[in-house]
Amino acid sequence: MQSAVGEFLDDWLVVNEVMAVRDGDLVTARLLSTKNGHFEDRDMLRIGVSFCLACCAGAVAASTPPPAPPISEMTWPSTSRGAPVDGLMLGPIAVHFEKTTLGDVVAANHLGVIDHRGDAGESEYWLCYSLPQKGQRIWIVSSGEMGGREHLVTSLVGEQTDTVSASNDCPALPATTTVALLDRQGWLGMTSTDVKKQFGAPSHRSGAWQAFNFDGKVKSVCSGGADRSNWLWVELLNQHANVIIAGQVTSC
């Protein structure tokens, strides 16, 4: 007699759209793409690491977490008149902060592994993608505290390196994938002149880094409106953007 798990696996295909979320020594795996071709998202029961390694074919290999911001706490005034960045165009999907989920990104690109680290306010979930032909790595991040159970996207990181290799946790996107910051159209490799033209004067400078910060009120069900913080960090190396860190959180 087949087990319940066996019957479940008969109904669902384990393909490269598998998402695995670490949670200590247990893993919550989601198997995506049904046999009839309709894209759905369905949580499996929590299962041991050994079983998940067999089912997910390496989807829970060693993780590659996003780089941390150069400064953990902002101590300068926000001077940007509006939000510097609304999100990221990543291939077929416009990833909007606090609107798009990590699952949406996986579904649109048919690829991705959701990883996790930290607890409470330090908890974060992310997707990592590689563009080997361009020497770029991209992380789409959801704060465990602010992204909610849906894992709404709250930040992103882009990094330019000499060499980038795809891995199980950072799969390669097609070489033709379009990547650009929403609204502004800038991305890794843009010149310091482009940065100034697109984003104006920075709110703060620290070595090779420039920070663009916006804080303000937005309409909300919250009494008096909600507080929104939007930020963009750009590291310039040889007058070109080498690392980009951007994000947004809104709270009552």
Please indicate, yes or no, whether residues 42 and 139 belong to a single structural domain of this protein: no
Indicate the pairing of strand 226-237 with strand 87-90: unpaired
pTM over 0.85: no
Each residue of 9-63: pLDDT tens digit? 333 333 333 344 333 333 333 433 333 333 344 343 332 333 233 334 344 446 8
Out of 40, 56, 72, a domain closes at: 56
Indicate the pairing of strand 87-90 with strand 179-181: antiparallel
200 φψ region: left (φ > 0), alpha (ψ -120 to 50), beta (else) = left
- Tell whether 65 is covered by a domain: no
Please indicate, yes or no, whether residues 209 and 94 belong to a single structural domain of this protein: yes
Please indicate, yes or no, whether residues 239 and 160 belong to a single structural domain of this protein: yes
Query: Among 141, 153, 169, 177, which Cα is nearest to 16's?
Result: 169
Each residue of 75-114: pLDDT tens digit? 999 999 999 999 999 999 999 999 999 999 999 999 999 9
Please indicate, yes or no, whether residues 31 and 111 belong to a single structural domain of this protein: no
Instruction: Give the Cα separation of 87 and 126 in Å (integer).
Output: 15
- Tell whether 149 is covered by a domain: yes
Please indicate, yes or no, whether residues 30 and 101 belong to a single structural domain of this protein: no
Please indicate, yes or no, whether residues 29 and 115 belong to a single structural domain of this protein: no
Q: Taking residues 131-160, report their average pLDDT.
A: 96
Each residue of 109-129: pLDDT tens digit? 999 999 999 888 789 999 999
pLDDT score at 39: 39
Instruction: Give the Cα separation of 157 and 178 in Å (integer).
Output: 16
- Tell whether 73 is covered by a domain: no
Total count of domains within the chain = 2
- Tell whether 21 is covered by a domain: yes
- Tell whether 98 is covered by a domain: yes
- Tell whether 67 is covered by a domain: no
Query: Is the CB of residue 36 less than 8 Å from the CB of residue 129?
Result: no
pLDDT score at 121: 77
- Tell whether 109 is covered by a domain: yes
Please indicate, yes or no, whether residues 49 and 95 belong to a single structural domain of this protein: no
Range of the domain at 15: 8-56
- Tell whether 236 is covered by a domain: yes
Average pLDDT, the chain: 80
